[in-house]
Each structure stands twice: as C-alpha cells, then as structure tokens.
Amino acid sequence: MNEAILPLLPKDRNGCPYLQLAPMEGVGDACFRKAIASIGGFDEAVRDFLRVPTNAHVKSLSKVYMADELSPIPLAAQIMGSDPELMAAMAQELVLRGAQRIDVNCGCPSNTVTGRGAGSSLLKDPNVLHEVAKAVVDAVSIPVTVKMRSGYEDTSLFEENLLAAESTGVRYITLHPRTKVDGYGPPAKWELIAKAKSLLKIPLVGNGDILTVENALDMLRITKCDALMIGRGSVINPFIFHQIRAHFAKEPYVPKWEDLSRYLDLYLANLSPEAPMRMRVNKLKQLLGFLFKSNARLLEKRMQILTADIQDPAAFLCHAKALLLEN
C-alpha cells in the first residue's frame, strides 16, 4: 500500500483514538519518556522541542535526537525556530537520524523563546507561519505536522493561522486551545478545537486539560477531534493511556503497584549520575509533585514529599514509595 494513503492517526481495533504523549519542556524529558514507556499505552511520543536558532549548526544540534529512544514506540521530532532555511536543514538532518515525523512548534509560550521570534510568536503573522512550515514540508518526504496554540495575545488570527498551516501540506495539526498569553492558566477552550475541526480538511489532534478518562471522552464528544495528545495528565497519572483504551475495549483496568514502582525506578536510573544528588532529588520531587495530585489522599501528603529533607536520591525515592503504598 502506498504510504501516502496510510492513515497517520489510526484507531485501534476497539475504536480507541490514536493516543500521543505530548512534548513537555522541563518535565517530559528523556528520563520521563523512558519511564512512562515502560508502562506504555500510547501509540507515539513527541520529543521536547529541538531549538533551531538563527546561528544554528544543525548537524550538531540534531544529534540529541534518538529515533529508537523508546523503541518499539515511535518518537517524533519537534523543531522550533523562525528561519525557514535552517528549519528545513534541521528537518533533513533528523530524517537522516531516523525520524518518521517532524512536528513544527508554533505553540511554546516561553518568553525566552518568543523573544527570539519562535514558538507561539509564529502565530503573530500567518504568512511567517506558512513560510516556516512550508519550508519544512518541502524539505523532507516524511510526514510534517504542526502543533499550535489558539493565538498569541488573542484569537483574532485563529482561523488565518489554521488555514495558513493547512495550506503548506502538513499532514495534520495538533491544537492546544490556549493563547501564548494564557500560558497554562485558564481552562483550555475546547470549543476552539471544535471550531478548528469544522474548518480543516486535514485531521486534528486535540490537546489540553485531559486529566482523566472522562476528560478524554468529553473532548472527543465536544470537539470531534481525530486523536488525543496528553501531557500533564500523563505525569499525574501514568496509567491514563491504558485506562482510556480499557474504556473502549469495555474491559476493566487496574494499575499495578509493580508497574508504578518500575516506572519510578527507571526514572531515577535514567537521571544523570554526574548530576549532583540534590539536583536528582529535585527532579524526583518534580515528578512526584505531579503524581501526588492523582487522588485526594495523596494530595494531603504532597507537601510532605516536596519539603522532605532527604539528600540521597535512592533514599528519597524509598520514602516516597512508602507514602504511595499507604495511599
């Protein structure tokens, strides 16, 4: 079968939509990806963005991307920049490194990023967005996609940005329905995903505020989106992908302690042994700070974890596991 007509976002045999692990700067690094891949349940992950500055040496920058990092789960490469030629060159390097999909970041709200004209800054001018994405599409033969927010300061260019992205030949768009100014604050406006779905002829992936199975089902019902991308919800509950699948399979799914314990052990094992112990403890605290939001009993113990004065990472994780088992 011609690859061009193969569905990029196939549902599973029970009708569950294609599930993606979102790129998350700072939180969703390789340690997290490798740990949650041991639990699994998602069809594909997207690497946190590779920055392509205006003075980029793309061959060097591309080396941090490892296509087989989560094998057999595919890992898409996401690139972020504002120079069309350099973005195209980076995409070509990533293809040589085994990338099966390139995602163009038009959504990062960080001031250090937008101050350089990248990320969600591309949403200020649909022509610039079009130029950057088109350069990447034209440079490679693999699927190119776009991840975007609903706007920069407001949604006045929402439709124009969507159509500008679609007209480049990208295979689908992932929409996080908050503006750059919104950051991660107000509730995601799912009605904008529904609006985008009605406008676009290409598939649309919904992203934002999927923290439970019920949230996932509500997004599908309200927006009619083609697939789901989950970020923060998977850090709070690393079993969420399996739970969504179980709903569609009409089967029970009970998370196992052994799986959660292995997930935490792998996270610690993949932290750089060269990093100071305090830094490794703080990374564990960041991860567990999310996990301890997963139910009311754990939430009561969250500050106990975040303020624990334990210097050794292994000892800290042992302390955290004891609290998790109790609650």
Residues identified as active-site: 108
Task: Please answer whether residues 138 and 85 qualify as being in contact, where contact means their C-beta atoms are separated by less than 8 angstroms.
Answer: no
Compute how many other C-beta atoms are within 10 angstroms of the C-beta atom of residue 252.
7
Task: Please answer whether residues 279 and 308 qualify as being in contact, where contact means their C-beta atoms are separated by less than 8 angstroms.
Answer: no
Instruction: Say how far residue 138 (Cα) sits from the centre of its chain.
Output: 24
Q: Which residue shows structure tokens 């992203």? A: 207
Cα within 13 Å of Cα(121), Cβ side: 15
Distance CA 20, CA 46 (A): 7
> Nearest CA to 114 among 102, 126, 106?
106
Task: Please answer whether residues 242 and 252 qualify as being in contact, where contact means their C-beta atoms are separated by less than 8 angstroms.
Answer: no
Burial class (CB in 10 A: 0-12, 13-18, 19+), 254: exposed
Distance CA 42, CA 234 (A): 10
> Nearest CA to 188 among 162, 212, 206?
206
